[in-house]
Amino acid sequence: MQLKLEKTGSRAIVYDANRISQPDASLFEPDFWYRSGSVVGKAVGRGNALMLDTPFGPAVLRRYLRGGGAAKFSRDRYLFLGYSRSRPITEATITARLFALGLPVPEVLGGICQRHGLSYSGALLTQRIANVTPLADVLVSGDSGDGMWQRIGHCIRRFHDAGVCHADLNVRNILVDNRNTIWLIDFDRARFLAPNSRKLTNNLQRLLRSLRKQKQLPDAQLDNFWRHLMLGYNSNQRPV
Catalytic residues: 168
The secondary structure of 157-196 as a DSSP string is HHHHHTTEE-TT--TTSEEEETT--EEE---TT-EE--TT
Q: Which helix (H) or strand (E) holds 210?
A: helix 198-212
For 13, other C-beta atoms within 10 Å of its C-beta total 25
Label residues 181-211 b or e (16+ Cβ within 10 Å = b): ebbbbbbbebeebeeeeeebeebbeebeebb
Sign, CA dihedral 203-124-93-53, equals: positive
